[in-house]
Amino acid sequence: MSDSQDSFVKTEPSLNGTDPGDLAPARRYAQIIGWGMYVPERVVTNVDLEQIVETSDEWIRSRTGIGERRIVSSPKETTASLAIRASRAALQVADVPASMLDMVICATSSPEYQFPATACLVQDALGAHRAGAYDLSAACSGFVYGLAMARGMILAGDADYVLVMGSETLSRIVDWTDRSTCILFGDGAGAVLLAASEEPGGVLSCALGSDGSGSDLLILPGGGSAIPTTLETVASRQHFVKMDGKGVFRFATRVMAEATREVAAKAGLSLAEIDVVIPHQANSRIIQSSVMRQLKIPEEKVFMNLERYGNTSTASIPIALCEAIEAGKVTPGQNLVLVGFGAGLTWGATAIKWCAPVTKQPSPWWKAARRRAGYQIASARSVWRRAARRVYAATLGPADAPTLRGRLRASIDAGRAVWEERKPDSLKPSPDDDEG
């Protein structure tokens, strides 16, 4: 960890230790100490979309504020691969090795698979061998939900370092023949590293909400338990996103304002004390109507970058946070509110007292080399573990034998039993043998 971030180390005495000692444990805070983003290189403009569906640059810009989006262009680019890049960038900023992570949370609406969790693939690629990992499904509110989960674990003393990411390849689940949805979405990933700290601040409060009665407003109907994949569901395009845009719009403008008010009040902040709002980047009209008009938060305090990325669902807030930091809009001591909404229906907001230094620290060359070596070792370790698992399965008996020796013994015993059963009668002991 860099010198400038020394206060964001594991607090002592640790709350999760067995011996609390005589002193009351220091109060813990969940600070964001690292951040990173990654977007695919391929840019798809509104004019490009005019070639695919009946739309226009003018319509898209005026109704949404979107000018272009990034889209994955190779099968190797997946939700996990984008998340890995964003996560590595976040760990680099924090100067924390992946081996220190206690938990990896991946919020996503376009996971690598139904299961296993995309977070597990990220955990493996990073070499976060001490970390638990899970995916979080709360659609576009997922990243804010993830921050709330991470904060909870840190304040409870169950974790010291939690990596939270939002990652999407929505281009793979969007219907490119449906002009009402395909113009909205983009691909990308953003990640933050939260750490336990004794310095007051960090993630101060969270406000999460849901209303499942609106589950049909934004849905990917096919491929789950309700509508398992069949030839018919594929033919009727049930494996693509369906949306009632107007319904989502009305809901979004209401909850964005309500959630911002609620989370500010929980943190003891007035709306005037909020320095920066980073809203879910879905539609500039939603942001204007909720955060700016209803809450009267001035435009210069509201960060928007959807013109260049479109709606990247769970990734939109962390990508916007990274760009706000890069643009010098976030500085230590400021109060931030991150607020989002999405399918479910869900919504969530979090208030943050920003504490981490945002100026880039010069990093010595050997640190970059050490990081690269760490990821290569993680990759080699993963290959080795896969190979070892295959060899064990093929040669060493039941997987529940507790030790290698136990597995060998179980394997030998099984072989003996088969031999005893099948060996020729001439080799079986006769009753006469006993008499001798």
Catalytic site residues?
A: 140, 280, 311
Is the CB of 123 or the CB of 350 nearer to ligand UT7? 350
By CB under 6 A, is residue 346 in contact with ligand UT7? Answer: no
Is the CB of 31 or the CB of 283 nearer to ligand UT7? 283
CB of 325 to ligand UT7, least distance (A): 23
Distance between CA atoms of residues 317 and 339, nearest Å: 8
CB of 211 to ligand UT7, least distance (A): 14
CB 310 within 8 A of CB 284: no
Task: Please list every residue from 246 through 305 that binds ligand UT7, using CB under 6 A.
Answer: 246, 248-249, 252, 282-283
By CB under 6 A, is residue 245 in contact with ligand UT7? Answer: yes
Contacts of residue 162, Cβ cutoff 8 Å, sequence gap at least 6:
30, 101, 102, 103, 104, 105, 149, 150, 153, 154, 193, 194
Is the CB of 57 or the CB of 198 nearer to ligand UT7? 57
Distance between CA atoms of residues 47 and 62, nearest Å: 14
User: Which residue, among 150, 163, 157, has the nearest Cα to 28 in the 3D structure?
Assistant: 157
DSSP code for 428: S
CB of 75 to ligand UT7, least distance (A): 26
Q: What is the 3-state secondary structure (H, E, C) of 191-237?
A: EEEEEEECCCCEEEEEEEEECHHHHHHEECCCCCCCCCCCHHHHHCC
Q: Is residue 134 packed enough to be buried (19+ CB in 10 Å), middle (13-18) or exposed (0-12)?
A: middle
Looking at 83, 90, 136, 183, which residue binds ligand UT7 (CB under 6 A)?
A: 183
Helix (H, G, I), strand (E, B) or coil at 62: helix
CB of 412 to ligand UT7, least distance (A): 58
Is the CB of 159 or the CB of 282 nearer to ligand UT7? 282
CB of 62 to ligand UT7, least distance (A): 9
Task: Please list every residue from 60 through 119 that binds ligand UT7, using CB under 6 A.
Answer: 63-64
Considering only 5-13, 55-63, 164-172, 427-435, which stretch makes contact with ligand UT7 by CB under 6 A?
55-63
Contacts of residue 226, Cβ cutoff 8 Å, sequence gap at least 6:
none
| Chain residues that interact with ligand UT7, rule: CB under 6 A | 55, 59, 63-64, 140, 179-180, 183, 218, 243, 245-246, 248-249, 252, 282-283, 311, 313, 342
